[in-house]
Amino acid sequence: MNAAIGHEPLTRSVEDYLKVIYSLSPEGRTASTSDIAHRLELSAPSVSGMIKRLSEQGLLEHIPYKGVQLTAEGRRAALRMIRRHRILEAYLVARLGYTWDAVHEEADRLEHAVSEGLIERMAEALGNPDADPHGEPIPTAEGWIEEVEATPLAEIPAGEAVEIRRVTAGDPDRLRYLASIGLQPGALVAVVERQPFSGPITLRVAGQERVIGHELAECVLCGGSRGA
């Protein structure tokens, strides 16, 4: 059963738009038509038409020459979908044996079909987790989300030790590789050496030294920095 505004259910397309716009407009920023089109793999004219319709429904606010933002109503609907998606990912990993690199597409397919009641039963069965398998925060059923501050591993100075809080790499191959070297939420990592000019970074993970590229290290978000 889809999320709804008032008594009118939202279509799958609208739900996808709201999720994408939420991700593209953090902390009061705006999302551009071109960025939305790129993320959804649609043409700019198609996106412009949908933006107009969503604005008329009170889900979006269009700011001339800047882009769009979700209204309070649109944000609530987006967070409902994000909650569904992340609880589904957590359930697939915890109860059905999926690995963290294989759950995103499954959750994408399921999130539009499951009922709110089923999502809440899944959440309760998991002990109401506050994060999904990638460390992304799960919104509450009331539509509140706690965004925990984190720093990309690529920016952690040599000699510092940190805890991995979140991994934003969406590509399954990257996720499998990160898991193979122990870079998952909750892992403790020490930065041993950083090469200049965005060069590779040497880490110590579970007593072993690992080397990863700067681009991949940007996808690993950390907190709790202290001396190694």
pLDDT in the model for residue 8: 63
pLDDT in the model for residue 204: 98
Q: Give the residue among 74, 75, 58 at the shortest CA–CA distance from 144.
A: 75
Residues whose CB falls within 8 Å of the CB of residue 37, separated by 6 or more in sequence, listed in order:
43, 44, 46, 47
pLDDT in the model for residue 32: 95
Number of neighbouring beta carbons within 10 Å of residue 125: 12
Sign of CA dihedral 68, 51, 12, 58: positive
Q: Give the residue among 128, 130, 131 at the shortest CA–CA distance from 120.
A: 128
- Please compute, for residue 110, the number of CA atoms within 13 A of its CA located in the half-sphere on the CB side: 20
Could you give the CA distance from residue 189 to residue 10 in angstroms, rounded to a whole number? 43
Number of neighbouring beta carbons within 10 Å of residue 157: 9
* H runs (alpha helix) in 154-203: 172-180
Q: What fold, for 151-227?
A: SH3 type barrels. (2.30.30)
DSSP label of 139: P
Q: Give the residue among 148, 8, 144 at the shortest CA–CA distance from 76.
A: 144
Compute the chain's Rg from CA coordinates.
Answer: 19
pTM for the structure as a whole? 0.89
Could you give the CA distance from residue 6 to residue 55 in angstroms, rounded to a whole number? 16
pLDDT in the model for residue 2: 53
Backbone angles phi, psi at 225, to 5 degrees: -65, 135
Angle, helices 33-40 vs 12-24, to 10°: value is 120
pLDDT in the model for residue 26: 85
Q: Which two tokens stand for residue 99?
A: 């690995």
Taking each continuous run of H as one helix and of E as one strand, the counts in the chain are 8, 10
User: What tens-digit pLDDT sequence spans the chain (228 residues)?
Assistant: 455 544 467 899 999 999 999 999 987 799 999 999 999 999 999 999 999 999 999 999 988 888 999 999 999 999 999 999 999 999 999 999 999 999 999 999 999 999 999 999 999 999 999 999 999 999 999 989 988 889 999 999 999 999 999 999 889 999 999 999 999 999 999 999 999 999 999 999 999 999 999 999 999 999 987 666
Residue 128's DSSP bridge partners are none
- Domain definitions of the chain by residue range: 1-147, 151-227
Q: Which two tokens stand for residue 38?
A: 């790129």
Backbone angles phi, psi at 150, to 5 degrees: -150, 155
Residue 227's DSSP bridge partners are 160
CATH number of this structure's domain 1-147: 1.10.10.10
